[in-house]
Structure 1
Amino acid sequence: MKIAFIYIAEPYQCYHAASVASALSVIPGCDVTEYYSFPETVQHLARIRKAMHAPAPPLRPLYRSWKTRLLKTAKRLDQERLRVLRENIGELNQYDVVVATEYTAGILKEMGLTRPRLVLLMHGAGDRYVNDDHLVRDFDLALLPGPKVEAYFLQNGIIRPGHYNVVGYPKFDVFEAIRHEEQPLFPNGKPFALYNPHYQRNLTSYSACMRTVLQGFRDQTLYNLVVAPHIKIFHKGFGVKAHLLERQASQDILVDTGSPAMLDMTYTSQAALYIGDVSSQVYEFLAEPRPCIFLNPGKLKWRDDPYFLHWTLGDVVEDPADIMPAVARAQARHALYRPLQEKLFRETFGTPLLGASQRAAQAISDFMKNQVSERRHAA
């Protein structure tokens, strides 16, 4: 059985799929090849395999025409991703299985993918509404992180029995291996808060709150601060936005606009306090329950909205002037939220927490064996 893993976006995808590709490659009869679009992906894959002492399947670049490369240069990454998929249909049609971590890959069949079974290995496990989750229906098999997503997808008719498995979150397996590389981030020994704004324009707190957060932490002595926005915030502007933010770094404020630590749970595992808006990284942070603050400068009507379920796990701040008072009382108020944090974390990722990579690999192998058996019976 020939299996292709495709990484069609930034290297964050590696931390969700690479461990599954390695686990699948050692199952007898499974021949795995990985394809990448972003050149930086190569280094991230190598780092993961080294940390996990895991086999590295053959790695190939996805074909990208000059028109596609031009779209990347212009930071039109959504259009570039679609062109990359279209330009590689012939290559991918040589395989029995194609595994992707992006909903976008669901359109491969419309583009002419005919032979392979299409498998979705979800990345992220947040509550935010995603306008292309309907594409999950186009996958032959969806591998889900936990019962929360399973219930949502079933309720909305996005998945059907026999074509999905709840396997957990492979990224935790990767982190368990990589965490041994951790070094203290600040020499002064103080705990740090993590500010992790999302990129989506109508939901992010980045523009409205960044200045207040930076100045507020300069004016207090309890915490250091790590500013690690979603990497897609920096897609536009030809690096200007990243450069201006990096200039705000100081001895007590670490600004990260693109290092591996943004992707591998370094910050979410070590922070004493999470400040954010709608990023699913808050659920990774809650592997160890800790205080959270959510920023809602747009005054969205979020209560009783399932897409903002995580905002029930900490204080929600609408006025930027109230951010630092919320920071000051966060530890004292954490006891109010901890039981629900623990409950939603279990519902998001299930149990056991580790071993998802092997479960996902076995689910793919078993699914394909069943497909072969069904074809034989049909014949």
Structure 2
Amino acid sequence: MTSAPPRGKVAFLFLGETLLIPHLYPIVEALAATSTVPIDLWVSTSVHETLLTRWTAPFPAVRIRRAPGFRRVADDGTGRNPVLPAKIPMLVRLLPYLRSARVVVCAEQTSLWLPRLFPMRAKFVKTSHGVGSMSARDDPRRRAAALTLVPSQRERQTYLDRGFAPDRFVATGYVKADFTHRTHAAPPFADTRPVVLYAPHWQQHRSSWWRWGAEVVRRIVADGRYNLIFAPHQRLVEKAPEVADLMREIGGLPHVHCDIDGFAMVDGSYTGVADVYLGDTSSQVIEFLMRPRPCVFLNAARVAWEGDPNYAMWACGEVVGDVAEVVGALDRAALLHTEYAAVQAAFADESLGAVKGGATKAAGEIVHVLEAIPSR
């Protein structure tokens, strides 16, 4: 993509949880590096502001702006997930400020209430945050986006099968793979024991936590042969506050690393450094499989999963139906990996698309949207 004269301002909405940042920010960097388009980053808290201010220093076209209702929170500069202001009131108050933008980019559906409910000149571009067979593709807000960026042709096809217009969905590759500001480049442990990442989902009907979670953690910890990263979805503690109690109980052990709100749990650090993935239906496993490694899946609800597309990821590793077998499955995982490696590679490729250059392609699509808007 070549630089072109600005055809209008692009606004990026950083209003939600920090988990959205690595899915959205690489597009900011790519757009700033390859065009002269002025860019506004609207932020909801001082945590977002601190991180983005640090990263955008080399990009003079980028301006960080506080959304109405901006919240200043206790912040040590590491990006811990903050308590957010109420998003709907913030969006309504932000509406007049977005009149100067020609394109608005977001990574979550809540922001799509604006083009769904209000007449707006700005075109909304929605980029994906995470992938997976259980994504809420039928949400009517999705139809309010002028363009939706998805990682792969497989993901794009799931929308076309639902009757969405083909020209409103583009496969870019996995944008988060281009995020370069990770917290950890190596496991956060003093020894070299194999590292298990346990990442249960936050929604009860999809999660192993409520039935098995605490016992799974305690069994691994008591076994002592693995380093455990216990890093569930950020929102799990909202639904299950006992998670924090368990973390306080075991967090001081040398072979345990707990994280419930740190930026490392959303920036790709843990999926990058773990040796074995242990989970249920979280899309984090697909990110983990960018580099195929052993996986173990927990069928705590004993669902009949084989042949169900909602559980397609479970073909990538052993599926455990008895909590007493979890440690044994971890022991077998490395030995069994040769049976799953090719399946994993194919599944990741189909789900994620390209794992390099996604942000640059996404930035190019945004410029195309700008160029297609008639001059006022």
- Give the direction of change, closer, same or farther, for the CA distance of 1:204–1:5 in structure 2 (3 Å limit): same
1:215-251: CA deviations, max 9, x gaps? 22223243211000000112357x7642442332211
The answer on whether the counterparts of 2:33 and 2:59 sit within 8 Å (CA) in structure 1 is no
The answer on whether the counterparts of 1:5 and 1:34 sit within 8 Å (CA) in structure 2 is yes
The answer on whether the counterparts of 1:124 and 1:280 sit within 8 Å (CA) in structure 2 is yes
Equivalent-residue separation in structure 2 for 1:88 and 1:179 (angstroms) = 30
- Unaligned segments of structure 1, at least 5 residues: 67-74
Instruction: State the match for 1:285 in structure 2.
Output: 288
Equivalent-residue separation in structure 1 for 2:16 and 2:183 (angstroms) = 27
The answer on whether the counterparts of 1:49 and 1:56 sit within 8 Å (CA) in structure 2 is no
SS at 1:235 equivalent: helix
Instruction: State the match for 2:176 in structure 1.
Output: 171
Equivalent-residue separation in structure 2 for 1:342 and 1:47 (angstroms) = 35
1:165-223: CA deviations, max 9, x gaps? 2111221111xx33596244111221210000110121111222222222222232432
1:33 aligns with 2:44: no
The answer on whether the counterparts of 1:293 and 1:316 sit within 8 Å (CA) in structure 2 is yes
The answer on whether the counterparts of 1:10 and 1:41 sit within 8 Å (CA) in structure 2 is no
Per-residue deviation, 1:278: 1.2
Instruction: State the match for 1:18 in structure 2.
Output: 25
Q: Which one has a larger percent helix, Structure 1 or Structure 2?
A: 1
Counterpart amino acid of 1:88? L
1:325 aligns with 2:328: yes
Per-residue deviation, 1:13: 1.4
The answer on whether the counterparts of 1:18 and 1:48 sit within 8 Å (CA) in structure 2 is no
Alignment counterpart, residue 109 of structure 2, candidates 91, 103, 114: 103
Q: Which aligned segments of 4 or more residues in structure 1 are displaced greater than 3 angstroms?
A: 26-29, 46-50, 53-56, 131-134, 178-181
Instruction: State the match for 1:206 in structure 2.
Output: 209
Equivalent-residue separation in structure 2 for 1:88 and 1:23 (angstroms) = 25
Correspondence list, 1:82-93, <5 A: 82-93=88-99
Instruction: State the match for 2:146 in structure 1.
Output: 140
1:59 aligns with 2:89: no
Counterpart amino acid of 2:43? Y
Instruction: State the match for 2:247 in structure 1.
Output: 245
Counterpart amino acid of 1:63? P
Counterpart amino acid of 1:202? H
Instruction: State the match for 2:5 in structure 1.
Output: none
1:225 aligns with 2:232: no
1:2 aligns with 2:9: yes
The answer on whether the counterparts of 1:246 and 1:257 sit within 8 Å (CA) in structure 2 is no
TM-score (norm 2): 0.87
Equivalent-residue separation in structure 2 for 1:105 and 1:293 (angstroms) = 35
SS at 1:231 equivalent: coil
Equivalent-residue separation in structure 2 for 1:65 and 1:366 (angstroms) = 31
1:149 aligns with 2:155: yes
SS at 2:101 equivalent: coil
Per-residue deviation, 1:318: 2.4
Correspondence list, 1:239-318, <5 A: 241-249=243-251, 250-318=253-321
The answer on whether the counterparts of 1:186 and 1:252 sit within 8 Å (CA) in structure 2 is yes
SS at 1:229 equivalent: coil
1:120 aligns with 2:126: yes
Per-residue deviation, 1:47: 5.2
Instruction: State the match for 1:357 in structure 2.
Output: 359
Alignment counterpart, residue 369 of structure 1, candidates 368, 371, 374: 371
Equivalent-residue separation in structure 1 for 2:181 and 2:10 (angstroms) = 26
- Give the direction of change, closer, same or farther, for the CA distance of 1:355–1:247 in structure 2 (3 Å limit): same
Instruction: State the match for 1:70 in structure 2.
Output: none
- Give the direction of change, closer, same or farther, for the CA distance of 1:357–1:337 in structure 2 (3 Å limit): same
Per-residue deviation, 1:371: 3.1
- Percent identity for Structure 1 against Structure 2: 30
Per-residue deviation, 1:106: 2.0
SS at 1:34 equivalent: strand
Equivalent-residue separation in structure 2 for 1:76 and 1:18 (angstroms) = 20
Counterpart amino acid of 1:365? V
- Give the direction of change, closer, same or farther, for the CA distance of 1:56–1:223 in structure 2 (3 Å limit): farther
TM-score (norm 1): 0.87
The answer on whether the counterparts of 1:104 and 1:132 sit within 8 Å (CA) in structure 2 is no
Instruction: State the match for 1:196 in structure 2.
Output: 199
The answer on whether the counterparts of 2:183 and 2:264 sit within 8 Å (CA) in structure 1 is no
Tell me the C-alpha RMSD between the 2 structures: 2.5
- Unaligned segments of structure 2, at least 5 residues: 1-7, 72-81
Counterpart amino acid of 2:292? P
- Give the direction of change, closer, same or farther, for the CA distance of 1:183–1:323 in structure 2 (3 Å limit): closer
The answer on whether the counterparts of 1:32 and 1:57 sit within 8 Å (CA) in structure 2 is yes
Give aligned pairs, total.
358
1:292-341: CA deviations, max 9, x gaps? 11112112232222121111111112221221121121111112211111
The answer on whether the counterparts of 1:106 and 1:135 sit within 8 Å (CA) in structure 2 is yes
The answer on whether the counterparts of 2:37 and 2:61 sit within 8 Å (CA) in structure 1 is no
Counterpart amino acid of 1:142? T
Equivalent-residue separation in structure 1 for 2:54 and 2:264 (angstroms) = 12
